[in-house]
Amino acid sequence: MPTTTIAETTEICYHCGENCDHSIKAEEKFFCCEGCRQVFLLLNENDLCNYYDLDKNPGIRAKGRFVSGRFDYLDDPSIIRKLTRFTDGKQTHVVFSLPQMHCASCIWLLENLHKIHPGIISSKANFQRKEVFIIFDEALTSLKKIVGLLAFTGYEPYISLQDEEAKKPVSYNRKYIYRIGVAGFCFGNIMMLSFPEYFSSGNIEQKGLKEVFSYLNLTLSLPVIFFSASEFFVSAWKGLRQKWLNIDAPIALAILVAFGRSVYEIISGTGPGYLDSMSGIVFFMLIGRWFQNKTYDSFSFDRDYKSYFPLGVTVIKEGTEKNIPVSSLIKGDRILVRNEEMIPADAVLMSPEGNIDYSFVSGENTPVLKRKGELIYAGGKQSGGAIELDVVTPASGSYITQLWNNEIFHNRKNQDKSFIHPWSRYFTYALFTIALLAGTYWYNTDPSRVWPVITSVLIVACPCSLLLSATFTYGNMLRIFGKNKMYLKNAGVIETLGKIDTLVFDKTGTITHNQSAIVRYEGEALNATELNIIKTVSRQSSHPLSKIISSDLQKRNSDRFLQVNGFREFAGMGVEASVADITVRLGSSPFARFITEKDFTTEDTGTHIYVSLNGELKGNFTVSNDYRPGLRQVAEELEKDGYNLHLLSGDNNHERKNLEELLGTEVPMLFRQSPQQKLDYIKSLQDQGKKVLMLGDGLNDAGALQQSDAGIAVSDDTNLFSPASDAILHGSKIGQFGRLLRFARSGKPIVTLSFILSILYNIVGLGFATQGLLSPLVAAILMPASSISIVIFVTLASSFSARMKGLEA
Amino acid sequence: MSVFFILISASILIAGGFLLAFLWSVKNGQFDDDYTPSVRMLFDDKPAREKNTTSTPSINQTNP
């Protein structure tokens, strides 16, 4: 039996690890496809097989991705100029984003490109940013050839209009690293130089030594005040100008008071000041900010449609093909779009027919058959042979990009300001009251101590511990979310997630697998030959459903295709063909039964395909969505937690029954929703006072993601493109979503607890300060001790909370 | 006791040297990528096999 022999001899591809048979081999190794074999041969020829030793089957399947002329637009000098970072005619520097980079082998191969191609002088990979920096010699190679080589080996660079327009800035993190470094240096040295003072309780015998220490400290504190701490002053000032007292304002005040009092003490020779405590606290707060802002370099959270659109397009002018940048496409241009390429502009089909996959734009699961003369909207992908189209509206004004003209994309998302800001305000009011009361008391008992007491109160009780609690809690939570494959844009999203009460799901690609479908057969059992016949016939048809059936049958039966005679396609009904003297009909039920009722209604033809052999009805195939595992459970969990669930789909409603089974019957479900309708639906929920979270994928959800309070893009390959969102969730983790939300809600209680802890420290500190007993030594012990214990507490608490909720920590 | 002053200035100088080294390393990009170098250092450098440099490698296949 052919099916069993296949099973016994299944091998995995030496290059990419896919299942394969014995038909394609080289050097005693088996490959799933010619593409993989070619890559292996190339690497083997250049002595780069180390690639296969570092990781097992590290390759990326290259099958069918390669079309000649695809990168021709990279010969365009204006595009070359935009993509290269530097060139002197000899050496050219270019940075490519390679989302496929996934293992040590990738790094190794990408850094050994010069061994394959002599024109490449050097290449350096950055794994976290998923980028490769290539220096090449323009005399020996070209940008197009390098991109071709990368694509050939499976690492096709991600090039988009957006990169072209705004090159990625150099890592933003450096700013913090500089500041932390300087603050740490000054803090350590000031601390060390203050020791003699502390241990001799202020009586240093050596004349002049005390002054040297003090002035050195003062000098060392200047970089802390003017460089490291500058962001607190800037932020406080910005807040005050907008009449908004943020947490940085009291912090800036405390830093200034500590610095001012220290300067006074040093100059007047009355004491050493609090410079060590001050620089220490700046140091810790900067670390907290840096930790919280450590985001995911390789992800982009604010892509718009331009990132999805191709950079170049083939234009046919007077019979010759020419590649031009998409941006210079004008109305009336005749364009050529090949298999798997995206149509970059609204255009009229000029070829006899095209098979357009709109899943990206509309969420519709299956490709649509379009005939000559039909208008095709930008964003569709052609599957099948190359087609020619006449441009009606260029990319920037096309139907799909109109969504981006909605004002929601121009206003920055109105994120709620963190609760720590109002808290810090209450804290500040309380602090001023205490300072005032203490000042009044001392004014009546010992007026000389009024100012020392007031300043010590302000120094010791700055809300820095509140800032530390928040930054370290959220920083650690971001890390834990990332470990569980949910990548948040920033820490503010955690608080927003905690306030959500309504969840809106998209269907296609979000709760279903994007590219796969389940095919079920009902009816009389088919033998291997019959299966093969049906497979052969369905392969002939370009109808999306027959394609799905054909590829599904291929998995069960990999026999050779048979000879087909008399293939005929009946529009809207089905196909007929004769294979091995058997007449096969595939299509709607009446069609397959040879009932020639002209007026039969196409009831729900979307899902069932009937099959008949020699006029005898055998059964039918049902094509249904392949839902992600764990969906039912997560829906139950979410409903139990009190969330309202909604479903919005761009697809038709033939899946309603399955969806009701999965999500529950009381979930509102809307089908055939356009991107704009989705956005409006979210808005109407928000108008009812709901806090809405949207889960979606693809361009069709982009508006809704942007409109929602928290938009989460679901993606099976987080390295690939996802629309602008607040977070990216890996598709396989949908089942964990309930737990992730619970974890997000635990953020505020943890910050609150650690804030209470810091209040206790503050009470101790204030106890010293109001009595006028706050010596620099007490401050120097109290401040680092409280900071460090708070950091330890919130880190442990948030990790513990994640474990309690069944997440990896 | 003036030895104190010498020692203090020496210690500040040394510490300052380290600070400069740190700033230089940040500027040089050593903190931009804290993962790839840890992988890179484990790669073995195999001695390059004698290769026919005139043969244009299979890059031509990129445009079949």
Which sequence spans correspond to the domains of chain A?
2-54, 72-165, 310-409, 486-513+628-745, 514-626
- Residue-wise pLDDT tens digits, A162-212: 554 445 555 557 888 899 999 999 999 999 888 888 877 656 666 777 888
Maximum distance among all alpha carbons in chain B? 83
More confident call, A287 vs A576? A287
Chain B: residue nearest A179 by CA?
Answer: B23
More confident call, A140 vs A259? A259
| Buried b / exposed e along A318-347 (16+ C-beta atoms within 10 A) | eeeeebbbbbebeeebebbbeeebbbbbbb
Kindly give, in sequence order, each residue whose CB lies less than 8 Å from that of residue A399, ignoring residues fewer than 6 positions away.
A346, A377, A378, A393
C-alpha distances out from residue A223 to A258, A388, B2, B5, Å = 15, 64, 28, 22
- Concatenated DSSP letters of A376-428: E-TT-EE-SS-EEEEEEE-GGGSTGGGGGGSGGGTSPP-PPPPTHHHHHHHHH
More confident call, A416 vs A633? A633
Which residue type, as a one-letter code, is found at position A333?
D
What mean pLDDT is predicted for residues A199-227?
82
Cβ-based contacts of A132 with chain B (< 8 Å): none
**Interchain contact, A38 vs B61, CB within 8 Å:** yes
Task: Tell whether B14 lies on the interface with A, counting CB pairs under 8 A.
Answer: no
Task: Tell whether B35 lies on the interface with A, counting CB pairs under 8 A.
Answer: yes
Residue in B1, B27, B57 nearest the CB of A116: B57
pLDDT at residue A147, as a whole number: 86
More confident call, A366 vs A104? A104
Tokens standing for residue A760: 């206790």
Tokens standing for residue A259: 């610095």
* Measured distance between the N- and C-terminal CA atoms of chain B, rounded to whole angstroms: 83
Residue in B8, B48, B63 nearest the CB of A212: B8
Q: How many CB atoms within 10 Å of residue B17?
A: 10
**Interchain contact, A182 vs B19, CB within 8 Å:** yes
Element (H, E) at A27: none
Instruction: Output the CATH code of domain A486-513+628-745.
Output: 3.40.50.1000
Task: Tell whether A190 lies on the interface with B, counting CB pairs under 8 A.
Answer: no
- Residue-wise pLDDT tens digits, A528-561: 788 888 887 877 776 667 777 877 777 776 666 7
User: How many CA atoms, within 13 angstroms, populate the side-chain half-sphere of residue A125?
Assistant: 29
SS (H, E, C) B27-56: HCCCCCCCCHHHHHCCCCCCCCCCCCCCCC
Cα distance from B25 to chain A (closest Cα, Å)? 10
For the entire predicted model, the pTM comes to: 0.78
- Assign A571 a pLDDT band (cuts: 50, 70, 90): low
Instruction: Classify domain A72-165 at the CATH topology level.
Output: Alpha-Beta Plaits (3.30.70)
* Residue of A508, A507, A496 lying closest to A741 (CA atoms): A496
pLDDT at residue A307, as a whole number: 66
φ, ψ of residue A240 to 5 degrees: the values are -65, -35
pLDDT at residue A440, as a whole number: 92
- Assign A600 a pLDDT band (cuts: 50, 70, 90): very low
pLDDT at residue A255, as a whole number: 92
- Assign A1 a pLDDT band (cuts: 50, 70, 90): very low
CA angle (B46, B50, B53) in 5-degree steps: 120
Chain B: residue nearest A40 by CA?
Answer: B58
φ, ψ of residue A96 to 5 degrees: the values are -115, 145
Tokens standing for residue A529: 């030959």
Cβ-based contacts of B44 with chain A (< 8 Å): 50
Kindly give, in sequence order, each residue whose CB lies less than 8 Å from that of residue A436, ignoring residues fewer than 6 positions away.
none
* Residue of A416, A432, A511 lying closest to A766 (CA atoms): A432
**Interchain contact, A126 vs B33, CB within 8 Å:** yes
What mean pLDDT is predicted for residues A64-70?
56
What mean pLDDT is predicted for residues A658-680?
84
Q: Residues A322, A661: contact at Cβ < 8 Å?
A: no
pLDDT at residue A8, as a whole number: 42
Residue A85 pLDDT > 70, yes or no? yes
**Interchain contact, A145 vs B62, CB within 8 Å:** yes
More confident call, A201 vs A612? A612
Chain A: residue nearest B25 by CA?
Answer: A178
Strand stretches in A653-691, DSSP E: 669-670
* Residue of B46, B58, B62, B11 lying closest to A51 (CA atoms): B46
Which residue type, as a one-letter code, is found at position A673?
Q
pLDDT at residue A803, as a whole number: 93
Kindly give, in sequence order, each residue whose CB lies less than 8 Å from that of residue A413, ignoring residues fewer than 6 positions away.
A706, A726
d(CA A610, CA A597): 16
**Interchain contact, B33 vs A47, CB within 8 Å:** no
Residue A717 pLDDT > 70, yes or no? no
Kindly give, in sequence order, each residue whose CB lies less than 8 Å from that of residue A634, ignoring residues fewer than 6 positions away.
A734, A735, A736, A737, A738
Residue A569 pLDDT > 60, yes or no? yes
Tokens standing for residue A211: 């002054």
Residue A259 pLDDT > 90, yes or no? yes
**Interchain contact, A41 vs B58, CB within 8 Å:** yes
Average pLDDT of chain A is 80
Beta bridge partners of A727: A488, A712
Task: Tell whether A117 lies on the interface with B, counting CB pairs under 8 A.
Answer: yes
d(CA A150, CA A171): 25
**Interchain contact, B59 vs A46, CB within 8 Å:** no
pLDDT at residue A371, as a whole number: 81
More confident call, A74 vs A121? A121
Interface test with B, best of A74, A172, A178 (most B CBs within 10 A): A178
Instruction: Output the CATH code of domain A514-626.
Output: 3.40.1110.10
Interface test with A, best of B9, B24, B39, B56 (most A CBs within 10 A): B39
pLDDT at residue A793, as a whole number: 93
What mean pLDDT is predicted for residues A147-169?
69
pLDDT at residue A413, as a whole number: 56
Residue in B5, B39, B63 nearest the CB of A68: B63
Cβ-based contacts of B31 with chain A (< 8 Å): 173-174, 177
Cβ-based contacts of A188 with chain B (< 8 Å): 15
d(CA A724, CA A300): 8
Task: Tell whether A193 lies on the interface with B, counting CB pairs under 8 A.
Answer: yes
Q: Residues A274, A217: contact at Cβ < 8 Å?
A: no
**Interchain contact, A47 vs B39, CB within 8 Å:** no
Q: Using CB atoms and an 8 Å cut-off, which of residues 194-253 of chain A contact chain B? A: 206, 209, 212, 216
**Interchain contact, B39 vs A107, CB within 8 Å:** yes
What mean pLDDT is predicted for residues A433-461?
88
- Assign A3 a pLDDT band (cuts: 50, 70, 90): very low
pLDDT at residue A604, as a whole number: 44
Kindly give, in sequence order, each residue whose CB lies less than 8 Å from that of residue A193, ignoring residues fewer than 6 positions away.
A213, A216, A217, A220, B8
- Assign A299 a pLDDT band (cuts: 50, 70, 90): low
ipTM of the complex: 0.75
Kindly give, in sequence order, each residue whose CB lies less than 8 Å from that of residue A386, ignoring residues fewer than 6 positions away.
A336, A337, A338, A339, A351
Which residue type, as a one-letter code, is found at position A386?
A
pLDDT at residue A679, as a whole number: 87
What mean pLDDT is predicted for residues A426-449?
89
Instruction: Output the CATH code of domain A310-409.
Output: 2.70.150.10
pLDDT at residue A533, as a whole number: 82
- Residue-wise pLDDT tens digits, A727-777: 888 888 888 899 999 999 999 999 999 988 888 888 888 888 888 888 888
Residue A343 pLDDT > 90, yes or no? no
Q: Using CB atoms and an 8 Å cut-off, which of residues 76-115 of chain A contact chain B? A: 104, 107-108, 111, 115
Q: Using CB atoms and an 8 Å cut-off, which of residues 13-52 of chain A contact chain B? A: 38, 41-42, 45-47, 50
- Concatenated DSSP letters of A250-312: HHHHHHHHHHHHHHHHHHHTS---SHHHHHHHHHHHHHHHHHHH---TT--S---HHHHS-SE
Residue A304 pLDDT > 90, yes or no? no
What mean pLDDT is predicted for residues B24-31?
87
Q: What does chain A come to in residues?
A: 809
Residue A611 pLDDT > 50, yes or no? yes
What mean pLDDT is predicted for residues A478-495?
88
pLDDT at residue A221, as a whole number: 94
pLDDT at residue A10, as a whole number: 57
By the 10 Å C-beta count (0-12 exposed, 13-18 middle, 19+ buried), A529 is classed as middle
pLDDT at residue A731, as a whole number: 82
* Residue of A350, A349, A345, A309 lying closest to A330 (CA atoms): A345
pLDDT at residue B47, as a whole number: 56
